[in-house]
Amino acid sequence: MKRFNVFLMLMNVCLTIVLLSQFQYPAAVSASLGASPGTSSESIDIVYIIDVSGSTADTDSGQYAKDALKLGIDLAPSNSRVAVIAVNSAVVSETDLIDVSVKEGRDRLKRYVDQLEIRGNTDFTPGYERAVGILESSNANIKQIFFLGDFSEGGYNAGAQDQEIEAASSVYDIAERAKTGGIIINNVFWEKEPQDSIAAPAFLELPQATGGRLIEISDTKLLPASIEDIYFDSFMYLYTITDLNGEDSQTLDVLLPTNSIRRARVYVSAHAPVRAFRATYAGVNLESVHNRSYSLIDLANPAPEGINLTFTPGATDITTICTILEYDPLVLSVSLENVLEKSENEKSGTNERSGTNGSSEIQVSTINAEIVDAKTGKPLLTAPYPADAVYTVTIASPRGPLPISYDPATPTAYSFTPDLQEEFGLYHITGELTVEGISFGLFTASVDVPDIRPGPVAPGLRNWLLIAAVIVCGILIMVALNIAQKIRKSEVEYKDAVELTSDYTFHGKLSVYALVLDGGDSDIRPFDYALHAFNGKRITLRDILDSVGATDAYAGAEGIMLMVGPEESLVLRNNSKAIIKSMGRSHEFNSKLQLFYGQKIYIVFEKDENELEIAYKKNKPGSNSSSIAINLRSERTVTKTKAETNTETAIDK
C-alpha cells in the first residue's frame, strides 16, 4: 500500500509540472498597515510666572491674575504638567511641574495660587531665568512660558540705571536660551499709567523672538479671556462652540459624538461668564468649577448623552459654551487586498493576452480605510451614526488623485485594476471626520501596491519549458510504471502462494537437524516432522519447533511460514530476519521459495549461534508418522558418542 501511495505521489508531481508549464493560478496578497494618530500625544510642560510685586495691589486689586492662572490650570491639555513661579524683584516661591490631568494635581496648584501674597519691588528678569532653567531640563515635546505681570513700571523697578541696563542684557540672553531650547514665551501684561524703562523693550520682544504671543490689556478682568485665547491658538483642542442668546435662565443638553471620549470639559467662556451655573447627569448634580470669571465641568469617560446644564447669563446676552473633547489615539486603519482574476479572454477560451505586461490575469487591488480607536481597534463611529457625520477620504496614487466615496455603514473601500507600471507603488490615504460640528482632524496613512501579476514568458522559452516538462514527465511515468509493475507482480505472486492452500494438502515429512557451531550448544536432537499427518493448510517453523519442546531458541522462527504447494511441493514464505539458504541462493525478509522432495534448506537466525538444516523428504510406504531420525551433525566439528553411533546403525537397518 505504501508503494502504491508513492506511485500516486509521482503521478501528481508529473501532472503539476505539466499544468504549471501552461497555466498561472490566481493569487491573493493582503496587508494591514498602521497610520498616524488623530490626536496629539505630545507631552506639554507649562510654566506660569505671576507678578506678586507691591504695585499689583493697586493695578490688579481684584486679583484677576489668580483667576487667569486657575483657568490655565483647568484648561491645560491632559498630557500637560504645570509649574507656577511667584516673582517680585526675585523669585519668591515656586512649585514643581505637576500633572494636571488628575484633579489632585489641579487642586494642589490652585491652593498654592490662593496663598500668594503681594509685596516687594518689580524685576521680571529672575522669573524668566528660573522658568527657562526649569524647561531646559524638561523632555517635553512642547514647552511654554506664560508671564502674567503689571507692566506699569516697564517690568523693572528694583535698582539703579546701570543695574537696569544689566537686567535688559540678561533678557536678551534669556531669549537666546529659550530659542535654543525650543521654549515659547507668552506675555500677558496690564498697565494703567505706563512708565518708560530701559528693560521694557527687551521684555516686550520676548514673545516675538520665541514664537509666542504678546497681549497687553488695561483691565485685569480680561486676563482669564486672554489665557483662553492663547490656549485655543497654541494647543490642539477638539472642541465645539455653542452660542446661546437670552437674559433669563436657560438649559442645554450636551450631546457627545461618540463613546470613545476619554475626557470631556464643558466650559463657559471667560469672554461671557455667567452668574449661576449648575450641571447634572441623569438628575444628579455634577461637581463643577464656577467663579466670577469662568465655569467648567470636567468629566472622565462620559456617556454620549444625559448631561444637562442650567445657567443664568451674565452681563451680556450671549453665552458661549465650549465642549472640549479628548479621546484615545485614533488611527486611519488601512488594509490592502490584491487578487488575480482571469481575464475576459481567458474566460472565453481565447489565447490572447490581457494586461500590459503580457499576463493572462487581471490584478484587482482594494484599499480599505477606516478611522478606528487605536486601543480597541473598533471604529470611531458606531451605529446609529450621527446624522451630520461627514467622513472624507482622499487617495493619492502614483499617477494622481483618485475618487472615492463613503458609506457610513461600511468601511471606506476603493477597488481598482492597475495595469500600467506607473499605477503600482505608494498610495497615500488621507481621512477627515467631522461629527456634530466637531472636526476630528486629518488622518494619514500609506500603502504600497505591488505588482503580483505573473511576468511575461517568451514564446520560444515557453515551448522549451513545455518540451522539458514533457520529457521529465515521461521519465517519471516510466519509473512509476516500473515500480507499479513490480508491486503488482509481487502481490500476484503472494496471492498465488496463498491461493495454493485452497487446492492442496501437505505431503511428506521434514527432517530437522541442529547444526552446532564452535562454542555453541543445542538443546534439541534431530527429529522428523510428518507433514502428511498435519491437517491444516499452513504452519510456522515455530509450531514445528514447539512440538519437540524447543520453545525459546531460534528467534524469528514464527515468521517462517510453510504452506502446501502443487505436485506435493512445499512453499516457504520468509517474513523474519533469518536468512534461508537454498541451492546457493539466500532468501531474506519478504521472500518466497518452493521445495520439492529431496531438497534441503539451511536457516541462519539473527541472534542464535546455531543453524537449522531442514530436508524435505518423501514418506516411505508404511512408515510411522511419529518416527524420529536421530542424527546430530555439525558443519565444523561432529561429536558422537558410541551409544549414539549404535543407535543410528539400528535405525538405518
- What's the pLDDT at 104? 95
DSSP 447: E
pTM beyond cutoff 0.85: no
d(CA 450, CA 339): 11
- What's the pLDDT at 45? 97
What is the torsional sign of CA 501, 502, 503, 504?
positive
- What's the pLDDT at 381? 64
Nearest partner of 324 among 236, 410, 411, judged by Cα: 236
Whether the link from the prior residue into 456 is cis, omega within 30° of 0, is no
Q: What is the CA radius of gyration of the chain?
A: 51
- Residues of the chain with confidence (pLDDT) below 70: 1-41, 158-160, 192-196, 328-329, 343-360, 375, 380-389, 402-412, 436-438, 441-442, 456-463, 486-503, 516-523, 551, 607-609, 621-653
- Other Cβ atoms less than 10 A from the Cβ of 9: the count is 11
**DSSP-based three-state secondary structure for 353:** coil
- In angstroms, the Cα distances linking 368 to 93, 371, 391, 486 are 56, 10, 14, 58
What is the torsional sign of CA 252, 257, 258, 263?
negative
Residues 616, 598: contact at Cβ < 8 Å?
A: yes
Nearest partner of 11 among 3, 74, 218, judged by Cα: 3
d(CA 92, CA 96): 14
d(CA 155, CA 164): 10
- What's the pLDDT at 520? 57
Nearest partner of 86 among 39, 147, 25, judged by Cα: 147
What would the grid cell of residue 449 be?
501596491
Residues 288, 278: contact at Cβ < 8 Å?
A: yes
- What's the pLDDT at 460? 59
Q: Going by DSSP bridges, is the β-strand pair 579-582/98-99 parallel, antiparallel, or unpaired? A: unpaired
Nearest partner of 151 among 106, 112, 202, judged by Cα: 202
d(CA 80, CA 231): 12
- What's the pLDDT at 360? 67
What would the grid cell of residue 97 be?
511641574
Nearest partner of 334 among 441, 432, 413, judged by Cα: 413
d(CA 76, CA 228): 10
Query: 574 phi and psi, to 5 degrees?
Result: -100, 105
> Residues 6 or more apart from 596 whose CB is under 8 A from it?
567, 568, 569, 570, 616
- What's the pLDDT at 145? 97
* Largest separation between any pair of C-alpha atoms in the chain: 159
- What's the pLDDT at 348? 55
- What's the pLDDT at 516? 67
**DSSP-based three-state secondary structure for 303:** coil
Residue with cell 546455531: 610
